[in-house]
Structure 1
């Protein structure tokens, strides 16, 4: 068993090699000096396009993008992007415009993204997996007149122009006399995050906010042209900004991870080894699945990782103990706290094995051109060291603001109390300062949560639930009772027949992306209240171990293979029984739980394929598909069970009790 050490001792040992953070006055003075130097040395700071062009000139033949065997050099990427940019400019794209980007993971996705910036416009990522109603809202709210999409989009609002990136191939880029490049203070992108009012809100980020992120952190990371990065995250998640431009601004190679591989930790582990990835960026949840895959492989894969950077959600350092035991400190592990409104990252915290002996989510110190203030949310005065305060962020990384949300901008981008004319971003996150160079993240002060790296306003889900005619009241929580984080909805019906979980999921799926759809639905006679008459979220019960109500009536497993599948699913969801017609995803399954189910089953069935669960999402369909393909499946499973019993000193079952009978209707 790992010995637990005093948290103060662990922090002191961990930070011995860490440089000190500048004080707030010194930071303010440094910002003024930097601004003065920049103003005298050059009138026009570089944009993302400028810095990318420098890499094209320096390394034209180096590989910039790869996806399996396909790849593009820096010169090829630049040429294709320039051709598409000319088409976009001819359609009206330019500084001040926002262009929608709705493409699947592909080389074309990055070509189009670079092309939009080359045209002078900002890109609006539109994940093709999102519901059409949500995509249409974002397009209208951002006033995006042009959408880059390879397929017809029936959700596209009227009056919008759609450009297929393949339509521009073969044509020559003709310089336009009216085309103007973006300036550093022009928008680079708008990313929509969940909104507490029931509608997502667009965060507008300028070029300079991104370029300074890399210049301010280069001394820590030393990114170089030999680095290989992965695009693991959706471009609708701002972690992708760090992945894409971390590679392209330093002459590195960006490996685009196929969607299916992001769902399969074992396949992703193989990709990391085969591609020689050196810089890996992960949410703690995704890395936990990768770590389990590496554990199953015994750490045998030869990895080239030099940096593993965490972000997107709170990190429990204890979960890294196994990785350190297998992999040592060959790769530097770093925790970074960040917010979309402050351009991806705010703080930097290098980790070491001793950190795994404490549970605190330590986020380190702010990036040099940012300041992190802990204030009392009511008085706006600093809290003392060791006391809990709300995180406010100041400095060069702040977003321009939210699109079309003046009231929200006034509430979240507030005047700096000590620097006239400067702004603070009010995060809603809580933390305490544990020493001069370290802060401990403590969670949210409101209803906002993070799940698998996505920021989610629980109020948005509740609003969508109450739009269902049979739901009178709703409350949503993020729970982790069984170690797997999941959203749980607590509902009061209006007296009519209760809708099934499948019907509620279908209703929510019309407006919400998949990561915002609860995994479980609990109907209650009343919602618990505090003595003040407010919802008592702490009193909401954990979902029971009984099988949840589903669209399909219960049907028992009929043979050993179906029983093994049903048992594995029941173990994952901590419920008593699972029927062979119960849909894994209706029970609350997601991509991480798919990986966990695969991990459990592959011990008995080494040939079990992860992709099968997406095609055959219930026990009956999956077993029926596999048995004809693998005639020896049932016998192999029986033998595996017999070996397992004998290994534990238990008698093997007699032939009668080991019968694998049953039909596959």
Structure 2
């Protein structure tokens, strides 16, 4: 019998009967579904389940009837304001039930939704607004918009109860704006990991097809809950938000602070008991590291980045099932799906078969289809394809190409390498554009990462190339141990074992020349591994000058800042120094634990920026700065001085900022060089209460650095004062980055 409050685990497979034995052609090409569009699918439940909860967020609920009424009201308001059909409406809103109604209203009105991220840096938001040129900007947090941006409050759309607006909600104007399947539904900007962010234009037909196919494949039923954790600017958020609504279910929105904190997310799962949760591999790892025991009534969906076999095996043991999803933003949410069997997983996880309405091909030269078993570029076709990139016909033509042997058909070139198995399902083999050449040998970093994550002591790995004079000279492997590494000697032993494994499995050209340990991999705002940050830090490690044994300090560091620096005892020769920044003596004393943990490995300096400077120039980059609480803003000021004097930002580690202060506009380091470390309060078995002040600091520093969440090194007994274990972990972090 299931424990009280839990649904019993269902017997039998989650995959529909007979699907495993489908013939290969049916798996590769499934015809599109003839279905209504999203607004009609959602509106159905306003009459069939009017009083049932549709959306839940922070204790506030909307039933299906109220959601329908509010979305019609928002659509009528858009028409009254003169926004034309397919006019772009940018929305910057927090994770509330009202935001879901507003999004649905924009889609119902036939206008194009452009979601903005409240926690995104202002410069990115400005670029998105400039590129999308919206007809209207709606915001419930206008302070997050670039200065001078005109906006309309979100409440104005949902609270307009005027007689004229209520009539327009269902009157002739609404009928005149009836949706066409090929109208655009949303414009979503890519993360920029492959270049300047581009707006991907997705149609109502593509969105409705994916949602309906997912509802059929997953078996979601009226009343089922899905916990939505992804930010609005990431495409899978549309699946998480609207899938329950088209099936008569309930969307539960995780708060910003809950979505990236393993302890809080585990508590939310325990309170809400959803049937489905989709998360990136990194977020699933965070949840497991927080001690989440699992839920045998929960179906775990995982996508958005490479899923390791070990993670998949751990999740299948703790949940009702694990569904592996794959799909670029340009192919509408996802296009391949596979329910993984329980138990140990193969070295390469199957990505599965196409959903309804999607074609998938492994291609070779000239887009000719490769034979089964061969590796080539994965190309996707069918109704899932986006219209293209907004305002970029050249970029559209490069990626959305004519499908050979068809009249008017298109394929999207994903840039992902794949192999089609004999059973018709696909395996992913890394990125074609991540291949690098080292000493004349072509190397695929994903293959190296696969070997690294097979080590029993590691939970994650990322391999990045290091370039010298424009050419790739070596690889750096960033690896994450499953348990904290307490000492430098333990780290050396672990890495020695990793090197032995790599040497036994890979030829010399594929072996990383450098290794770094991190507690976890940093993520982008969209929850993917931040390869740009890791590459920047790897390049900094590679180019850092090595002090001589006679003088372990960086050249001229003391004379340059005499009067502002207090020298600690010298650390191990030949490694870069660390400069700690503290505002005031009290904060300087709080840094003693960090400094003591680092002194064994490198020179340590303590900088008090409130003291009058004697020097005319700041220290030369590269070096590391770490601020604690108020010292974070001081660290930015000193980093800006270094940039002004030497033309380069130093890598910057911000430790547990407690306030929203930051650098002046224009004096902000690139977020790829900013690592945000936060301490958690309480003991190891008690995550401690979250305060409004901490949540405000989280939001402010996410906007500042571009990080979706901090890198947590806690817990510690007294918030803000590191325990020995936490100090050692910070020392390991700085050792890896420096």
Alignment TM-score, normalising by the size of structure 2:
0.62
SS in structure 2 at match of 1:110:
helix
Following TM superposition, by how much is the alpha carbon of 1:557 offset from its aligned partner in structure 2, in angstroms?
13
Native 8 Å contact 1:391 1:428 kept in 2: yes
Matched, 1:582 2:619: no
User: Which of 67, 88, 101 does residue 91 from structure 2 map onto?
Assistant: 101
Distance change (3 Å), C-alpha of 1:108 and 1:161: same
1:385-413: per-residue Cα shift (whole Å, max 9, x none)? 33220000011111111111111111111
Match of 2:510 in 1: none
Native 8 Å contact 1:363 1:439 kept in 2: yes
Distance change (3 Å), C-alpha of 1:142 and 1:518: same
1:579-616: per-residue Cα shift (whole Å, max 9, x none)? 8872489338899x9899759x843x846567798859
Match of 2:509 in 1: none
Distance across 2 between alignment mates of 1:525 and 1:333:
40
Matched, 1:321 2:313: yes
Match of 1:647 in 2: none
User: Which of 373, 395, 399 does residue 408 from structure 1 map onto?
Assistant: 395
Match of 1:552 in 2: 581
SS in structure 1 at match of 2:533:
coil
Match of 2:347 in 1: 359
Following TM superposition, by how much is the alpha carbon of 1:549 offset from its aligned partner in structure 2, in angstroms?
5.5
User: Which of 109, 115, 126 does residue 119 from structure 1 map onto?
Assistant: 109
SS in structure 1 at match of 2:310:
helix
Matched, 1:137 2:124: no
Distance across 1 between alignment mates of 2:216 and 2:409:
26
Distance across 1 between alignment mates of 2:481 and 2:190:
23
Matched, 1:280 2:284: no
Following TM superposition, by how much is the alpha carbon of 1:231 offset from its aligned partner in structure 2, in angstroms?
1.8
User: Gaps spanning 5+ residues in structure 2: where?
Assistant: 1-14, 436-444, 450-463, 483-523, 545-572, 607-624, 633-651, 658-674, 702-712, 727-738
Distance across 1 between alignment mates of 2:18 and 2:265:
32
Following TM superposition, by how much is the alpha carbon of 1:354 offset from its aligned partner in structure 2, in angstroms?
3.4
User: Which of 204, 208, 213 does residue 205 from structure 2 map onto?
Assistant: 208
Match of 2:220 in 1: 223
What are the within-5 Å matches in structure 2 for residues 418-437 of structure 1? 418-437=405-424
1:227-280: per-residue Cα shift (whole Å, max 9, x none)? 111120011001101101111101111111011111211111111111111111
Following TM superposition, by how much is the alpha carbon of 1:128 offset from its aligned partner in structure 2, in angstroms?
1.6
Distance change (3 Å), C-alpha of 1:589 and 1:331: farther
Matched, 1:331 2:331: no
What are the within-5 Å matches in structure 2 for residues 334-349 of structure 1? 334-349=323-338
Match of 2:501 in 1: none
User: Which of 168, 189, 193 does residue 192 from structure 1 map onto?
Assistant: 189
SS in structure 2 at match of 1:254:
strand
Distance change (3 Å), C-alpha of 1:86 and 1:276: same
User: Gaps spanning 5+ residues in structure 1: where?
Assistant: 1-13, 39-44, 452-457, 463-470, 486-508, 528-543, 642-665
Distance change (3 Å), C-alpha of 1:21 and 1:553: farther
Native 8 Å contact 1:391 1:430 kept in 2: yes
Distance change (3 Å), C-alpha of 1:154 and 1:289: closer
Matched, 1:518 2:526: no
Following TM superposition, by how much is the alpha carbon of 1:319 offset from its aligned partner in structure 2, in angstroms?
2.1
Distance across 2 between alignment mates of 1:107 and 1:195:
29
Following TM superposition, by how much is the alpha carbon of 1:135 offset from its aligned partner in structure 2, in angstroms?
1.7
Alignment TM-score, normalising by the size of structure 1:
0.68
Distance change (3 Å), C-alpha of 1:21 and 1:122: farther
CA RMSD in angstroms, aligned pairs only: 4.8
Following TM superposition, by how much is the alpha carbon of 1:194 offset from its aligned partner in structure 2, in angstroms?
3.7
Following TM superposition, by how much is the alpha carbon of 1:183 offset from its aligned partner in structure 2, in angstroms?
2.1
Number of equivalences: 533
Native 8 Å contact 1:555 1:579 kept in 2: no
Distance across 2 between alignment mates of 1:344 and 1:478:
32
Distance change (3 Å), C-alpha of 1:220 and 1:23: same
Native 8 Å contact 2:330 2:385 kept in 1: yes
1:325-352: per-residue Cα shift (whole Å, max 9, x none)? 4x3xx51111011111111111111112
